[in-house]
Structure 1
């Protein structure tokens, strides 16, 4: 027994000295529709245990990421299973494996993505929201460390996307925009400079072009992260935690967005929020992404 305990202690010490760590990434769906998040590993890093799953509106899911991982995470929309062929496909963000899991296949543009490189130079994580290959869903990434900056593209870019880049489909007898292609695909009917300016104004924190390195952020390694789909339109870096309290619904959008960003910066508080979502969903309430005032119902 003593020998087994010493062996375990030695293994733990070796792992600690070698810097072997893992972090958690929690994906939160604040959209009012179902998403199918996916992950792609770059640079020969260790593949994640899951590369695709379903995430209903108001739900969250946590994945464990190994040390030194690098890759992309994104959301797929309007996915379905063909009952005749058995093929799984999505309108945007599809990886064309015919299955729920992407299994080493990258997404098909246009799609918003989170780019991450963990435990890189100087023991730093690097992360960014990228529209280099286009946009389909608003996204934000929030490090759970008080001195690190969040980043995001919170605007509904499809609504302001230049006509030459807009991807549309018929839905209930209407033509609706489902994605916005990369500015690098501008042709005769699209002004490149105009398109870049529109996207920079809509999402000033995001990488629009490949050389937008100033919109790549860093944080100390061994940091956990939240990735939010359809986040509120404003951000707040303050990570204080007000906790749950009973009271009347706040009517000021600014106040409710502030409360949201205070909560989301603390993991334990976020678990409480998700628990409350589950409670409300079981009671038949919906959780609309376009009304941040929901977060003040406490």
Structure 2
């Protein structure tokens, strides 16, 4: 039986990815932790590489405005057919929802070459599908405004996998 874990988010059957991303499509939590004179953290959830599971980041005990971000919706049930990643060689259950870039590989959808700038990289109908369901996520490479949220002195950041 084929495992859906091996199809999405997997690091080649290793526990740690060693700096590489997991197999796409995958929901991605992003963190930047700063310590020093001013302690703060930036965090966000990205669907730029597609979606494989609902996830939120919930900060606690922050001194600033610390929103809950991410995607509580299970997009596997509503993923457009052209973006679906299915188990069992394409004949099983939907286990991931690809980005437009992964599904079609065009420079425009991947925001590369001529399209690799905030002026030329634009939302697509595919990134709009993700944004409509999960507005507090990044859905394409130059999504703006930046959806990385800054929170001063968070004591704890919780990553919650929803179902």
Range class of TM-score, shorter chain: 0.7 to 0.9
1:30-49 to structure 2, matched below 5 A, reads none
- Picking from 24, 32, 40, the partner of 1:117 is 32
Deviation at 1:207, TM superposition (A): 0.5
- Answer whether contact 1:118 1:221 (CA < 8 A) is retained: no
Aligned to 1:203: 134
- Picking from 151, 163, 181, the partner of 2:81 is 163
- Answer whether contact 2:43 2:150 (CA < 8 A) is retained: yes
- Picking from 99, 104, 113, the partner of 1:182 is 99
**Secondary structure of the structure 2 residue equivalent to 1:108:** coil
- Answer whether contact 1:164 1:187 (CA < 8 A) is retained: no
Aligned to 1:139: 55
Matched residues, number = 140
- Are residues 205 and 100 of structure 1, via their aligned partners in 2, closer, same or farther at CA, if it must alter by over 3 Å? same
Mapped to 2, the partners of 1:214 and 1:101 lie a distance apart of 28
Mapped to 2, the partners of 1:124 and 1:183 lie a distance apart of 33
- Answer whether contact 1:119 1:221 (CA < 8 A) is retained: no
Per the normalisation by structure 1, the TM-score is: 0.42
1:80-119 to structure 2, matched below 5 A, reads 90-96=6-12, 98-119=13-34
- Are residues 120 and 130 of structure 1, via their aligned partners in 2, closer, same or farther at CA, if it must alter by over 3 Å? farther
- Answer whether contact 1:120 1:126 (CA < 8 A) is retained: no
Deviation at 1:112, TM superposition (A): 0.3
- Answer whether contact 2:52 2:76 (CA < 8 A) is retained: yes
- Answer whether contact 1:131 1:206 (CA < 8 A) is retained: yes
Name the Cα RMSD after superposition.
2.7
- Answer whether contact 2:99 2:127 (CA < 8 A) is retained: no
Structure 2: give runs of 5+ residues left out of the alignment: 110-122
Structure 1's consecutive aligned runs of 4 or more residues displaced over 4 angstroms after TM superposition are none
Asked which structure has the greater CA Rg, the reply is 1
- Answer whether contact 1:166 1:180 (CA < 8 A) is retained: yes
Structure 1: give runs of 5+ residues left out of the alignment: 1-76, 80-89, 231-288, 290-298
Mapped to 2, the partners of 1:99 and 1:186 lie a distance apart of 25
Mapped to 1, the partners of 2:16 and 2:104 lie a distance apart of 34
- Picking from 138, 145, 148, the partner of 1:216 is 148
- Picking from 26, 30, 46, the partner of 1:130 is 46
Aligned to 1:82: none
- Are residues 108 and 186 of structure 1, via their aligned partners in 2, closer, same or farther at CA, if it must alter by over 3 Å? closer
- Answer whether contact 2:49 2:102 (CA < 8 A) is retained: no
Per the normalisation by structure 2, the TM-score is: 0.73
- Answer whether contact 1:92 1:110 (CA < 8 A) is retained: yes
